[in-house]
Amino acid sequence: MSSEIRVDEKLVQEIASLARLDLTEDETRVFVSQFKDILDYVSILNEVDTENVSPAYLSSSSKNAPREDVIEVSVPTEEFLANAPESKDDYVLIPRVHIEQ
Amino acid sequence: MKLHELTIRETHELLSSRKISSEELTRDYLERIQRLDPQVKSYVTVSEDVALEQAQKADECLKSGEGLTPLTGIPYSAKDSISTRGVNTTCSSKILENYKPFYDATAIKKLNSANSVLLGKNNMDEFGMGSSTENSGFFTTRNPWNFDHVPGGSSGGSAATVAAGLAPFALGEDTGGSVRMPASFCGVTGLKTTYGRVSRYGLIPLVSSFDTIGPMARSAYDVALVLEAIAGHDPKDSTSRVESVQSYSESLKKTENLRGLRIGIPKEYFVEGLDKEVEASVRTAIKQIEGLGADVVEVSLPHTQYAIPVYYLILFAEASSNLAKYDGVRFGLSERTGDLMDVYLKTREAGFGAEAKRRIMLGTFALSAGYYDAYYLKAQKVRALIRQDFQKAFETCDALITPVAPTTAFRIGEKISNPLDMYLSDVFVVAVNLAGIPALSVPCGISNGLPIGMQIIGPHLSEETLLRIGYLYQSQTDWHTKHPPCW
């Protein structure tokens, strides 16, 4: 796996941008070396023949049991908004999505 | 005997015969926390007001006798990833430092209806990411047996709390050993439940397909009492199991020996790197269990060495998805600066610690276009093989016994600069989460003043068998009754 992947600062910065993390230069440098170690380590899985194996996404053999979709009283708006950084009337307030150029 | 020295069972007798009140008991624990926890540092939040209010309610119940349960009036603490209405639930992360849930997790709700008393919330590795509590966004919990050593993780605060007599039991959460490993390091009894046996509703997720809530206490019997109170199907968790909950404690009272039970010893768990004293203690425990009537045979779990890479790849992927919601918009920390994108970037940079960022990064990478098949899909396929190993072993065995960890508790600072080395301390515990099966961690020795634990693993929903083995072992040994110097 990892042998073909070039882990450098550019790759780490690209992933950070996808993950919405604003990494410092120090963090970026440390991640480059730790990523290499960890990706090298997990490449041991290449030894395992999984040609005819189906993936096991769930932890148990039992099936999910969804409930009936019945409308019920949920959270009072006031209590929900108590955790919001900013709110106005019944809404969560966020900063502008676009800034005029 | 002092109140904090009693088991749940003994405390219940005093409460129900009204020799003590829940309020007295609760005040006794709060006083101990105030006195000892500045050194142990096991609590992030002490919920004194809630505790005293719940204790008074419990006393009314004890007085009238209505709705009395073995946990009525018994204090406890919970890992800080389990939602508690009106009481800060931080996951030991700066990003949730002031977050107050507006609802209780189902496990907490069940303890509320049993009239148990919430003393507070325990420290952990941030969002459950770690094996020592050193990744907490706030502080490191110390091992009550030796303050220079870690308590294990990620439920390290809960294990230390129970070990130091700062709560008779705690709710932990196990994603990849997070109940069993700290239980072993701190010398308490901890159960990783079958996936879905206890509702995850209100449990702040790390890896949704691994996470399980489980009890940590001072004996297998006490663990059984807590399990029967919190287990069961919950319409609010579609992955919770529908099978009815057994009366675990009642069946323990009836058990006399282990005749007819076959126990497998997986050879892959007794290999190089396993500390000699840990190995000797676990092997002695196996002999004692054999002496209780069980047949012991060697078995093989051939894919054991792949469990750690599989576990971490799936964890990275699921954790990075689960942590995407902490963006400074609806709750939690919010760095209000610039436009919305700046808020995301600055909030996440300021709110997450180094390990959380590392795992978010690795998960984002493993799930990104071009790498999904090589990492995430490959890991899920090898996971299927690891599950098959266990299924085969359980065709001939009722349970398996292994060490919980290769060593006793390591020193604070010893592994923090090398994440891979830290990951490897989970080598004996993560396979159980990949298979979704239950496992019990039971104290079975002490080496250089630090506890050793054995792990008893069973097939899905075999909690009764695991507790039975632990209970009978504890009826013959006294490791679980030993206490740290700060006790």
B215-259 per-position pLDDT tens digit: 999 999 999 999 999 999 999 999 999 999 999 999 999 999 999
Closest CA to B206 of B401, B413, B356: B356
Give the pLDDT band (50/70/90) at residue A67. Answer: confident
The reply to whether CATH 1.10.20.60 applies to domain A2-47 is: yes
Q: Nearest CB to B209: which of A59, A66, A82?
A: A59
Contact B141, B162 (CB under 8 A): no
In three-state form (DSSP H/G/I as H, E/B as E, the rest C), the secondary structure along chain A is CHHHCCCCHHHHHHHHHHCCCCCCHHHHHHHHHHHHHHHHHHHHHHHCCCCCCCCCCCCCCCCCCCCCCCCCCCCCHHHHHCCCCCEECCEECCCCCCCCC
Asked whether the predicted pLDDT for residue A3 surpasses 80, the reply is: no
Tell me the HSE value of B116 on the side-chain side, using a 13 A CA sphere.
28
Closest chain B CA to residue A1? B374
Count of CB atoms situated within 10 Å of the CB of B477:
16
- Pairs across A and B, CB distance < 8 A: 171
Would you say residue B124 lies in a domain? Answer: yes
pLDDT tens for residues B272-328?
Answer: 889 999 999 999 999 999 999 999 999 999 999 999 999 999 999 999 999 999 999
Give the pLDDT band (50/70/90) at residue A61. Answer: low
Would you say residue B116 lies in a domain? Answer: yes
DSSP SS3 for B226: helix
Would you say residue B39 lies in a domain? Answer: yes
CB contact under 8 A, A48 and B420: no
User: What pLDDT does residue B420 have?
Assistant: 83
CB contact under 8 A, B419 and A23: no
User: What pLDDT does residue B418 have?
Assistant: 86
A96 contacts in B (CB within 8 Å)? 339-340
User: What pLDDT does residue B369 have?
Assistant: 80
Regions of chain B short of the pLDDT cut 50: none
Closest chain B CA to residue A51? B381
For the annotated catalytic residues of B, the residue numbers are 79, 154, 178
What are the phi and psi torsion angles at B444 (to 5°)?
-140, 15
Question: What does the DSSP 8-state code read for residue B217?
Answer: E
- pTM here is 0.96
Would you say residue B268 lies in a domain? Answer: no
Contact B91, B124 (CB under 8 A): yes
Q: Nearest CB to B384: which of A16, A53, A98?
A: A53
Q: Nearest CB to A59: which of B327, B368, B436?
A: B436
Q: How far is B64 from chain A (nearest CA, A)?
A: 32
CB contact under 8 A, A38 and B362: yes
User: What pLDDT does residue B153 have?
Assistant: 94
Would you say residue B351 lies in a domain? Answer: no
Q: How far is A37 from chain B (nearest CA, A)?
A: 8
A85 contacts in B (CB within 8 Å)? 328-329, 331-332, 334, 336
Q: Report the domain count for chain B.
A: 1
Asked whether the predicted pLDDT for residue A2 surpasses 50, the reply is: no
Contact B484, B145 (CB under 8 A): yes
Give the pLDDT band (50/70/90) at residue A6. Answer: confident
User: What pLDDT does residue A62 have?
Assistant: 65
Q: Nearest CB to A1: which of B196, B349, B375?
A: B375
Would you say residue B385 lies in a domain? Answer: no
User: What pLDDT does residue A82 have?
Assistant: 94
In whole angstroms, give the CA distance from residue B72 to residue B343.
46
Question: What does the DSSP 8-state code read for residue B260?
Answer: T
Closest chain B CA to residue A98? B339
When the pLDDT of each residue in chain A is averaged and rounded to a whole number, the result is 87
Contact B189, B223 (CB under 8 A): yes
A75 contacts in B (CB within 8 Å)? 102-103
Closest chain A CA to residue B319? A19
Closest CA to B33 of B160, B196, B214, B199: B160
A82 contacts in B (CB within 8 Å)? 100, 102
Domain ranges of chain A: 2-47
* CATH code, domain carrying B131: 3.90.1300.10
Radius of gyration over alpha carbons of chain B, in Å? 21
| Domain assignment of residue B173, given as a range | 3-261+398-481
Q: How far is B204 from chain A (nearest CA, A)?
A: 16
Q: How far is A98 from chain B (nearest CA, A)?
A: 7
Would you say residue B125 lies in a domain? Answer: yes
Would you say residue B59 lies in a domain? Answer: yes
